Amino acid sequence: MAMAGLYRRLLPSPPCFDFASSHGKVTFSYGKQLFVEGIQNGTMEGFYRLISYFQTQSEPAYCGLASLAMVLNALAIDPGRKWKGPWRWFDESMLDCCEPLEIVKARGITFGKLVCLAHCAGAKVEAFHASQSTINDFRKYVLKCSSSDDCHLISSYHRGALKQTGTGHFSPIGGYHVGKDMALILDVARFKYPPHWVPLTALWEGMNYIDESTGKSRGFMLISRPHTEPGMLYTLSCKHESWNSIAKFLMDDVPFLLKSEDVQDIYKVFSIIFTSLPSNFEEFIKWIAEIRRHEDGDSSLSEEEKTRLAVKEEVLRHVHETSLFKHVSSFLSSSCGRQTLTSGDGDALPVIAASVCCQGAEILGGKHSSPAVYCCPETCVKCWKAEDDKSITMVSGTVVNGNTEQGVDVLIPSSSGKLCCTCSSKKNIRMHPASSDVLTVLLLSLPSTTWDGITDEKLLKEIHDLVSHENLSTLLQEEVLHLRRQLHILKRCQEGKVDEDLQAPLS
């Protein structure tokens, strides 16, 4: 056994028992025996998925990020963006929404912000502070997740309750032994402690410690896959420094502006909102594009890529079919709209292509720097017929970043079918999107209370008819509600309330 020091720590036994142990003073404390009996009793079902994606935290303070990445991968939730090369995969470095990685690296992450991250990643989350739950409820949830492979439980606890060195920690629960009332902790700090069994009562005690940074007790969260994949085409971004001011504008300022202005028609509503949009608004809402590197000269699409592109195109088509989209397009094409938004060229396919091409190279490079760093000397938009006789639009581009070049392909969703092949040579490129479809989706995603300050009853009814979810297709409803939940999450972060309210964001 390793001696206590900077190379591992001695696992205090009891109360902890090494998962791989085969010797001990008491027969029932053998880690291997507990595991075998757990399998026989059907309470190790979640273990197999988790162990397949078990990882070691890459930084001393990344236990929360490592636990979440491990669970998201075990649930096969698609991050919707690249990790490295052409691969999509959850990694700690990609969990930088809600809290900058530099801050997490320096002081860790709170329980509420990790719950926020899980929501932002597209998971279904149920979270509980220990002070707002009971040990019987906790035991029930541990049993539920241990008896199934479609949900997993992450515990936030204080190591002191387990006689371990250190303070607050996150790790997934890998299994449960009903007879001995013991839980298996798959400790992501594998450089320190191996996976180990602990009495559920001791773990519960550790979750009741108060986190000094929030004044709240620690707790546990159940993470599972949503019924449908959220955010197939649109997503909100909090990866730039001004996201909190934009979230505040949309949630607080817009209702106030509509209440304070003499609003008499729908175009006046658009003018008030669009004129007041922050200058960097285009960085806040983005398309989730299908991006890949040039590889082996093969431009053919896989069945998986075709399926995802088809869903994105379906979402875009449903947006274009809404009455609200027609009103927004009409406003933007008017002289008033053109003066309000200087993004008239934002809908030109070559500009969109070059923009998302640069974004794609940035993602593939694992960086989130200023778009000015990336230059797209040329992008070529290609349109061809797929085997099912459906038009496919793909951007092929070469992106230059310093002395390096990256060839990327971007699949562009389109509901038009009238696009033609064209090339563009643009060096100063704005970030897409800033177009009528994005503004339409954004208006649909605002809370229903946004419009309550409008005093003209006829106009208020017209607005409610345009933004009502009842008239939307199921696919578009899911897209809009996902954005609305994201907006609520970002507002909680902006107000510093994520540790106070752990419930799922309003729909």
Reported as a single tens digit per residue, the pLDDT across 328-358 is 988 888 755 555 554 434 445 555 555 655 5
Report the candidate in 82, 54, 46 with the shortest Cα–Cα distance to residue 365: 82
227 burial level (CB within 10 Å; 0-12, 13-18, 19+): exposed
Q: Give the Cα separation of 95 and 83 in Å (integer).
A: 11
Residue 342 CA from chain centroid, whole number: 30
Q: Are strands 404-411 and 290-293 parallel, antiparallel or unpaired?
A: antiparallel
Higher-pLDDT residue of 36, 493: 36
Q: Give the Cα separation of 380 and 211 in Å (integer).
A: 53
The string of pLDDT tens digits covering residues 9-45 is: 889 988 999 998 765 454 445 788 899 999 999 999 9
Tokens of 379: 């992008």
Write down the pLDDT at residue 388.
Answer: 56
Q: Is residue 394 helix, strand or coil? A: strand
Higher-pLDDT residue of 139, 485: 139
What's the angle, vertex CA 311, arms to CA 308 and CA 317, rounded to 5?
A: 145
- 247 band by pLDDT with thresholds 50, 70 and 90: confident
Q: Give the Cα separation of 325 and 317 in Å (integer).
A: 11
What is the pLDDT averaged over residues 490-497? 77
Write down the pLDDT at residue 499.
Answer: 79
Q: Please name the residue that has the structure tokens 């079902």.
A: 45
Q: Give the Cα separation of 59 and 40 in Å (integer).
A: 36
- 187 catalytic? Reply is yes
Among residues 16, 63, 97, 358, the one annotated as catalytic is 63
The string of pLDDT tens digits covering residues 441-468 is: 989 999 888 998 888 889 999 999 999 9
Please provide the DSSP assignment of 77-137 as one string. ---SS-SBTTB----GGG--SSS-HHHHHHH---HHHHHHHHHHTT-EEEEEEGGGS-HHH
The string of pLDDT tens digits covering residues 36-79 is: 999 999 999 999 999 999 999 999 999 999 999 999 999 998 88
Write down the pLDDT at residue 346.
Answer: 43
- Is 52 in contact with 96 (CB distance < 8 Å)? no
Q: Give the Cα separation of 68 and 97 in Å (integer).
A: 13
Residue 489 confidence (pLDDT) above 70: yes
Write down the pLDDT at residue 401.
Answer: 62
Range among 123-127, 290-294, 303-307 rated most confident: 123-127
Among residues 18, 91, 96, 187, the one annotated as catalytic is 187
- Enter the DSSP assignment of 411: E
Higher-pLDDT residue of 88, 394: 88
Q: Give the Cα separation of 26 and 9 in Å (integer).
A: 22
What's the angle, vertex CA 314, arms to CA 311 and CA 318, rounded to 5?
A: 145
- Is 185 in contact with 203 (CB distance < 8 Å)? yes
For 296, phi then psi, to 5°, come to 60, 20
What is the pLDDT averaged over residues 138-160? 96
Q: Please name the residue that has the structure tokens 């229903």.
A: 448
Percent of the chain topping pLDDT 90: 35
Q: Give the Cα separation of 220 and 207 in Å (integer).
A: 8
Beta carbons within 8 Å of 342's beta carbon, 6+ residues apart: none
Q: Is residue 235 helix, strand or coil? A: strand
Please name the amino acid found at residue 27: T
Report the candidate in 478, 489, 447 with the shortest Cα–Cα distance to residue 233: 478
Q: Return the sign of the alpha-carbon dihedral for residues 125, 108, 371, 358.
A: negative
Q: Residue 215: in which H helix or E strand, if any?
A: none
Tokens of 458: 């006829």
Residue 145 confidence (pLDDT) above 60: yes
Among residues 129, 152, 158, 169, the one annotated as catalytic is 169
Write down the pLDDT at residue 424.
Answer: 41
Write down the pLDDT at residue 344.
Answer: 39
Phi-psi label, residue 348: left if phi above 0, alpha if psi -120 to 50, beta otherwise: beta
**Lowest-confidence segment of 134-148, 221-235, 374-388 by average pLDDT:** 374-388
Residue 427 confidence (pLDDT) above 60: no
Higher-pLDDT residue of 340, 242: 242
Write down the pLDDT at residue 343.
Answer: 43
185 burial level (CB within 10 Å; 0-12, 13-18, 19+): buried
Write down the pLDDT at residue 162.
Answer: 96
Domain 17-224: homologous superfamily in CATH? Phytochelatin synthase, N-terminal domain (3.90.70.30)
Please name the amino acid found at residue 92: E
Residue 239 confidence (pLDDT) above 70: no
- 368 catalytic? Reply is no
**Lowest-confidence segment of 279-283, 343-347, 360-364, 467-471 by average pLDDT:** 343-347
**Lowest-confidence segment of 142-146, 282-286, 414-418 by average pLDDT:** 414-418
Q: Which residue spans of the chain are classified as CATH 3.90.70.30?
A: 17-224
Beta-bridge partners for 154: 172, 221
Tokens of 289: 């594009």
- 169 catalytic? Reply is yes
Write down the pLDDT at residue 197.
Answer: 95
The string of pLDDT tens digits covering residues 368-425 is: 444 445 555 555 656 555 555 566 666 676 766 666 666 666 676 765 544 334 444 4
Beta-bridge partners for 17: 197
Residue 294 confidence (pLDDT) above 90: no
SS3 sequence, 33-46?
HHHHHHHHCCCCHH
